């Protein structure tokens, strides 16, 4: 997709559609506004680490942070938390910006990088050393871990803990100057090795890493740890509410220790429960493996939980935003049902997607009483949910394709579609009746000979006789060729992370997650359908044009079926 298409895609302004009910972060903001803690300001940030593509969990955080800013007339920054040069890449930075824009949010002129603050962070570290609140430690990583103690046992002081300020300043400067190889020593905050909170047991602030950074190049060979960089970056940017996921709750005292001891502006860290989804993996470490081990075709494979994958699959940004709103905000972890996300996708596409006819598994139908060479242009409704979408002409002719599923030679009693001697309605067309079944030598059905009733144009018989089914079709001479990619969950179990059997999550990859249907036929109105356009194939589901479409063959991804599993679930489990 081009940038322009991305922008058009999200032309509908994002904002929280939530009703009057408020969630706990809104309550906190209301309280802060009452006490005047931040002078009525609301300034949030979305702080991705550019070490992978964004996934649906990040969408929750993006909608929350940008949504709050919109709701309160505040601001939201995009800040790359780029403190680990070994895992970060420019490709990720660009994809992240693309995805945030696509979701419909705008950081305006507030694009920041934690690496912009490396000089300031260094100065602040020196300040802490001078105050006797940080020291250079020569214990190695294992020794530091041993000294840290456990939840039940206090830690032990490092033998280097009581170095003089002068020695620490000298060593820290030499760390920065590149005099020591990786791993020689670290800078640690001097807090309390007996604190019940392990994060306060002299956490590491800087490590030596002789690595080239995507923005600062080789300027630095010491890099700040997350806890040291994050709150300070928030403070520099004047963030009011620093929203993060639950696992950082125990880091909050450290966040506060740093800003208090530096005596700088104090943002408020607030934790919420991360989004988890059934049948879905969200850890970037695991997503990278799916890509690198070629379990999927790339980061934007439509089976991925990444926003680029969901975009390619055909999920509209409005649906993702609606989903993030619908799941609400919690303080304890839970797992959302994938069917709920699909419900939101369907809800939105039902309103906006043009209906077309497509045949995925074509069976040739010859209308023996229809004149050769004649073409009837039938009127078809583009979207019954949206009268302004108008109508289009669909060509009808002597040879058609219908879906094989819509015919049975020996139908069971509940099958009402086409079968020998049976009459059905063709969508927007006529009644047809199956007169003869043609088979090849092996006994496979290759063609149906049918007659049509010219008096039933428009779908009703003047004599009042009824048919029990309406099926879709395309005109063989006019149809376009298409490949359709049908997806199922990428994993065979709702929680692919669970390893109670000691298995790796890749053991649960669904071998049937992608089924490629070649030789599909779609109606000719799709001739110029651009990659990214979404349609409802009548009776089959929603489909999105894939960028792999080439020349005269269109490629579609099945976005979602028409079956609403979520509504079914809701009915079977009254809350
Ligand atoms: P991952 O575990 O996928 O690598 P991360 O937390 O390390 O995720 P970051 O790039 O650091 O990834 O995340 C950026 C922001 O998105 C953080 O504020 C983080 O809390 C938030 N975030 C990440 N995953 C989720 C999730 N599943 N639900 C809600 N917010 C999330
Ligand atoms: Mg992170």
Token look-up 């003869």 returns: 436
Query: How many angstroms separate the alpha carbon of residue 564 from the centre of ligand 1?
Result: 29
Q: Rounded CA gap, 394 and 559, in Å?
A: 24
Pocket probe mutation, ligand 1, options 47, 56, 57, 80, max atoms within 8 Å of Cβ: 57
Closest residue by Cα to residue 573 from 339, 334, 333, 330: 339
- What is the structure's pLDDT at 87? 87
404 φ, ψ to 5°? Answer: -55, -35
497 lines ligand 1 (CB under 6 A): no
- Catalytic residue positions? 49, 274, 284
108/74 Cα distance (integer angstroms) = 12
**3-state secondary structure (DSSP) of residue 265:** coil
pLDDT at 20: 56
pTM for the complete prediction? Answer: 0.93
CA-proximal residue: ligand 1, atom 9 (nearest):
48
Shortest-distance Cα residue to atom 18 of ligand 1: 244
Closest CA to 302 of 316, 317, 313: 313
Of 544, 537, 545, 540, the residue nearest 563 (C-alpha): 540
Query: Which residue's alpha carbon is at the smallest distance from atom 4 of ligand 1?
Result: 284
pLDDT for position 573: 62
Full set of structural domains in the chain with CATH: 3-114+229-346 (3.40.50.620), 118-224 (3.90.800.10), 355-478 (2.40.240.10)
What local confidence, expressed as pLDDT, does residue 77 receive?
98
Any ligand 1 atom below 6 A from CB of 139: no
Q: Which of 59, 60, 61, 242 has most ligand 1 atoms within 8 Å of its beta carbon, as the pocket-test mutant?
A: 61
74 CB near ligand 1 (under 6 Å) = no
Q: Which atom of ligand 1 is nearest to the CA of 285?
A: 4
> 539 — alpha (psi -120 to 50), left (phi > 0) or beta?
left
Ligand 1 atom nearest to CA at 276? 27
What is the rounded CA–CA span in Å between residue 328 and residue 342? 16
Whether ligand 1 lies within 6 angstroms of the CB of 245 is answered as yes
- The pLDDT > 70 percentage for the chain reads 95
One digit per residue, the tens of pLDDT, for the chain of length 575 reads: 444 434 334 433 444 444 556 899 999 999 999 999 999 999 999 999 999 999 999 999 999 999 999 999 999 999 999 999 998 889 999 999 999 999 999 999 999 999 999 999 999 999 999 999 999 999 999 999 999 999 999 999 999 999 999 999 999 999 999 999 999 999 999 999 999 999 999 999 999 999 999 999 999 999 999 999 999 999 999 999 999 999 999 999 999 999 999 999 999 999 999 999 999 999 999 999 999 999 999 999 999 999 999 999 999 999 999 999 999 999 999 899 999 999 999 999 999 999 999 999 999 999 999 999 999 999 999 999 999 999 999 999 999 999 999 999 999 999 999 999 999 999 999 999 999 999 999 999 999 999 999 999 989 999 999 999 999 999 999 999 999 999 999 999 999 987 777 889 999 999 999 999 999 999 999 999 999 999 999 999 999 999 999 888 899 999 999 988 777 777 776 54
For atom 14 of ligand 1, the residue with the nearest CA is 48
Is the distance from the beta carbon of residue 361 to the nearest atom of ligand 1 less than 6 Å?
A: no
């Amino acid at each position: 997709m081009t940038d322009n298409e991305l922008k058009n895609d999200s032309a509908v302004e994002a904002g929280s559609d939530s009703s009057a009910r408020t969630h706990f972060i809104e309550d906190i903001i209301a309280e802060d506004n009452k006490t005047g803690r931040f002078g009525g300001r609301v300034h949030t940030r979305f702080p991705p680490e550019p070490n992978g593509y964004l996934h649906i969990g990040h969408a929750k955080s993006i909608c929350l942070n940008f949504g709050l800013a919109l709701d309160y007339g505040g601001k939201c920054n995009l800040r790359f938390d780029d403190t680990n040069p070994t895992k970060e890449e420019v490709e990720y930075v660009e994809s992240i910006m693309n995805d945030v824009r696509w979701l419909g949010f705008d950081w305006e002129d507030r694009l920041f990088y934690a690496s912009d603050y490396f000089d300031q962070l260094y100065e602040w570290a020196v300040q802490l050393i001078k105050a006797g609140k940080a020291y250079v430690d020569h214990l190695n990583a294992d020794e530091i871990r041993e000294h840290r103690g456990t939840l039940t046992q206090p830690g032990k002081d490092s033998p280097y803990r009581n170095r003089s300020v002068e020695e620490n300043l000298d060593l820290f400067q030499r760390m920065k100057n590149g005099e020591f190889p990786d791993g020689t020593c670290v800078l640690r905050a001097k807090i309390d090795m007996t604190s019940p909170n392990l994060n306060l047991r002299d956490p590491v602030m800087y490590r030596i890493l002789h690595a080239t950074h995507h923005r600062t190049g080789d300027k630095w060979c010491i890099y700040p740890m997350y806890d040291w960089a994050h709150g300070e970056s928030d403070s520099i940017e004047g963030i009011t509410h620093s929203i993060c996921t639950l696992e950082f709750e125990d880091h909050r005292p450290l966040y506060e220790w740093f800003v208090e001891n530096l005596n700088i502006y104090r943002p408020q860290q607030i934790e919420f429960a991360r989004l988890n989804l059934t049948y879905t993996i969200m850890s970037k470490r695991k997503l990278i493996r799916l890509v690198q081990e070629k379990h999927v075709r790339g980061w934007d494979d439509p089976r991925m939980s990444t926003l680029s994958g969901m975009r390619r699959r055909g999920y509209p940004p409005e649906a993702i935003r609606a989903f993030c709103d619908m799941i609400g905000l919690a303080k304890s972890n839970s797992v959302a049902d994938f069917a709920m996300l699909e419900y939101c996708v369907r809800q939105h596409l039902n309103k906006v997607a043009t209906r077309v006819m497509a045949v995925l598994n074509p069976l040739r139908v010859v209308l023996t009483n229809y004149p050769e060479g004649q073409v009837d242009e039938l009127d078809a409704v583009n979207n019954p949910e949206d009268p302004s979408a108008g109508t289009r002409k669909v060509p009808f002719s002597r040879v058609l394709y219908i879906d094989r599923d819509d015919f049975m030679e020996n139908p069971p009693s509940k099958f009402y579609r086409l079968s020998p001697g049976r009459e059905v309605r063709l969508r927007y067309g006529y009644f047809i009746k199956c007169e003869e079944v043609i088979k090849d030598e092996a006994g496979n059905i290759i063609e149906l000979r049918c007659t049509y009733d010219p008096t039933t144009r428009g779908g009703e018989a003047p004599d009042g006789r009824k048919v029990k089914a309406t099926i879709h079709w395309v005109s063989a001479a006019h149809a376009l060729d298409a490949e359709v990619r049908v997806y199922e969950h990428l994993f065979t179990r709702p929680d692919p992370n669970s390893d109670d059997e000691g298995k790796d999550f890749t053991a649960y990859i669904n071998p049937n997650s992608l089924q490629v249907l070649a030789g599909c036929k779609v109606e000719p109105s799709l001739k110029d359908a651009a990659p990214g356009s979404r349609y409802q194939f009548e009776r089959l589901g929603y489909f999105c044009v894939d960028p792999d479409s080439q020349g005269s063959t269109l490629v579609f991804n099945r976005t979602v079926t028409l079956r609403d599993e979520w509504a079914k679930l809701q009915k079977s489990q009254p809350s």
